[in-house]
Amino acid sequence: MFPIFLATYGAVFVAEIVGDKLLYTTGVLATRYRTLPIACGVAAAFMAKMGVAVLVGEAIAKLPPWLVATITAVNFIAIAIVLWRKKGPEKEEKKDRPFSKAALVSFAAIFFSEWGDVGQMTAAGIAATHRDAPLWVWLGAVCAMVTKGILAAFLGAGVRQWIHDKVSPRVVRYAGVVLLVVLGSLSVIETLSGER
């Protein structure tokens, strides 16, 4: 069963790591929150999403592309609105933000976006092939996604420190809002262009 875990881990990690929007989302979160609550939030989201992929992967694949694009775009734009409305001291530290809030925002950012993406479909396909080992497939997929999320959070935290020293927090907030709106728009464009 361990080879199934390794195969799932490798396949999902490679499928997800290149050009994935969630990688950037996690990086943006790391500019606002501490790494540990982000890791906890994204880990919980990945557990749930990969659980669904393993259990009902074929149904996810049949979701209408417009629905997936709408949910993803609304999620990115909602997080952009939260960042836009965020008021506080100009030099607010990440440690001042509650753990639970950071974990919840991270969970929502990951859980409600990109259903039916390449990582989920990879896990669903492997689960369909290895019906006798759904736990191993789920575990491999979750570990791959958590690895990706933690890498993005740590990279984002390093970039955040550099930005914190060089750039006004207001500029960072506006840049984060713009990036999230762009990611939401790209989700729609990508989906609509794939339907033609």
Which residue ranges make up each domain of the chain? 2-195
- Secondary structure (DSSP) of 27-85: HHHHTTS-HHHHHHHHHHHHHHHHHHHHHHHHHHHTS-HHHHHHHHHHHHHHHHHHHHH
Bigger pLDDT: 164 vs 185: 185
Burial (CB < 10 A; 0-12, 13-18, 19+), residue 40, is middle
Tokens for 143, please give them: 């570990």
In this predicted structure, which of 38-52, 127-141, 159-173 has the lowest mean pLDDT? Answer: 159-173
**pLDDT tens digits, one per residue of 76-97:** 777 677 767 766 544 455 556 7
pLDDT of residue 89: 47
pLDDT > 90 fraction of the chain, expressed in percent and rounded: 16
Residue 121 predicted with pLDDT over 50 = yes
Region 169-190: mean pLDDT is 76
**pLDDT tens digits, one per residue of 142-156:** 999 999 888 877 877
Mean model confidence pLDDT for the chain: 78
